[in-house]
Structure 1
């Protein structure tokens, strides 16, 4: 396993997101764990690009 993925697994097992148990995280695949991390942190990366309403095409 990738050391980065294992660090993420430990991080989320120590402080699991709401609605997910440490046991759930222990049994997640690497892809599921990386997906969860991406979606939990995606707003941080894009905070300054779009307003509160989101992105709209007119």
Structure 2
């Protein structure tokens, strides 16, 4: 697995999100974002991607 610096990762993510911006954003907004903001956005967009099917947050009714 290739290691990336934050700058390299931000550059690749910026190109990805310019081509296909997240819902509610435009390509120009992505272009104007700082590297830190772009990395934060990507983290929060994919924060729960690796959760198992048994993890909390599944659709349904919960009683606590």
With normalisation by structure 2, the TM-score equals: 0.72
Is 1:31 the counterpart of 2:21? The answer is no
Max Rg structure: 2
Tell me, in whole angstroms, the C-alpha distance in 2 between the residues paired with 1:27 and 1:9.
Answer: 10
Instruction: Give, in angstroms, the shift of residue 4 of structure 1.
Output: 1.4
State how many pairs are aligned. 53
**Equivalent residues in 2 for 1:1-58, closer than 5 Å:** 2-45=7-50, 47-48=51-52, 50-51=55-56, 52=58
Aligned residues: CA RMSD: 1.8
* 5+ residue gaps, structure 1: none
* TM-score after normalising by structure 1: 0.79
What is the rounded CA distance, in whole Å, between the counterparts of 2:14 and 2:28 in structure 1? Answer: 11
